[in-house]
Homo-oligomer: A and B are copies of this chain.
Amino acid sequence: MSGNPVWIDVLPAEKVIPVLKDKVVLHAGPPISWERMCGPLKGAIAGAIVFEKWAPDLATATEMAAGGGVTFHPNHHFGAVGPMTGITTRSMPVMVVENRTFKNRSFCTLNEGLGKVMRFGGNDQEVLNRLAWMRDVLGPDLGSAVRAAGGIELKGFIGRGLSMGDEMHQRNVACTSLILRAIAPWLARTAKDTNRLAEVLASIGANDQFFLNVAMAMGKAIMDPVKGIEGSSVVTAMCRNGTDFGIRVSATGDQWFVAPVEMPEGLYFAGYGPADANPDMGDSAIVETIGVGGFAMAASPAVAGFVGAGSASSALAFTRTMSQIVVGENPQWTIPALDFAGVPTGIDIRLVADTGIAPVINTGIAHKEAGVGQVGAGVVRAPLDCFIHAARALSNKLGVQ
């Protein structure tokens, strides 16, 4: 709660994550081999390989990935996070968020917007063209603006967003609008030409989820300093790669506790249904570890409808239930509809194991096949087994029964 995350830059990923200078692909979730990866993750990786020009086409890229021609690591191993497939490769621009209280930094790619996008497994020319524009225009220009501003403090946006119906996972319309207001003058002051500036402003303006990736980088920057506190049973990361769900816990440091990932339950776009859905994906569940997303559902009756979680009263119930598995409430981030109670913060694996209440996550739903994209949005539970494994490991480490 004492963290002070500040968005300080946007840079090509290889500048801040040196391992990316090689043919390395970072992905969402805990570690996984090519063979066990789901369709959209494989599709996004093939797209990223073509994007980086390591292969001329998707077929060759897929062969290359399957044959060990690229190395895979989780984003989380390098202070990074990414939504859904979470692909990060060397030339992609990443936001740099510094937690000024603890001096650590975290990274997240920029949000691609809606439609065909790599985070949902998209990999065609439209997807790659957009990524090239983000690399060549959006990333550098946002970087210049944020540097000129001397950094953008992020915590206040969450507080305002919660009073404006955002939960910062599946709804970011308020925070996107507020941060654009803050950055727009700096974008103008550092602009090279006005047409290019108009493109950047229109891109953010058309993307209600722009702030999701900001919130994710912020979440990572807030939770990383919680790592390695002796005896602490607080969850420092939750993430999914479409096959496995993984968590990390403070006292057990970098160790992953994994279990098969669940299927989201939610609402599908026209023409799609549960049979099309891929199991849960993405590092975005980092936002639930800091008390927003599904944990702040009460702030966002509109999102409760969008993810199929029911009415405004159901939304209140989600937040109240999550209060039973956390170490506290965050008085800086309050929910008007709960008489300004703070968001439930700091998931405690002991409370999850004791109560059997699994953390709730608001999520997008990807098609299970590569290249199709988003087919819905819903709610998913973190698998209880992750927390039980973690509680056993922590017990063993502490020598308690």
Contacts and interface: CB of A to CB of B under 8 A. Distances in A.
A189 to B, nearest CB: 4
A165 B337 CA distance: 11
A19 B377 CA distance: 56
A164 B166 CA distance: 8
B198 A185 contact: yes
A268 B199 CA distance: 43
Copies of this chain in its oligomeric complex? 2
A197 interface: yes
A181 interface: yes
Interface in A179-233: 180-182, 184-189, 191, 194-195, 197-199, 201-202, 204-205
A340 to B, nearest CB: 9
A174 to B, nearest CB: 6
Contacts of A312: 336-337, 339
A178 interface: yes
Contact of A160 (B173, B176, B185, B195): B173
A177 interface: yes
Contact of A181 (B187, B188, B205): B205
Of residues A165, A173, A177, A302, which shows the largest number of chain B Cβ atoms within 10 Å of its Cβ? A177
A202 B180 CA distance: 11
A191 to B, nearest CB: 5
A104 interface: no
Contacts of A177: 174, 177-178, 180-181
Interface in A101-149: none
Task: For the complex of A and B, list the 7 residue pairs with the smallest distance between their C-beta atoms, beginning with the closest.
Answer: A177-B177, A188-B198, A185-B202, A164-B164, A181-B205, A184-B201, A188-B197
Interface of A: 160, 163-165, 173-174, 176-178, 180-182, 184-189, 191, 194-195, 197-199, 201-202, 204-205, 301-302, 312, 336-337, 339
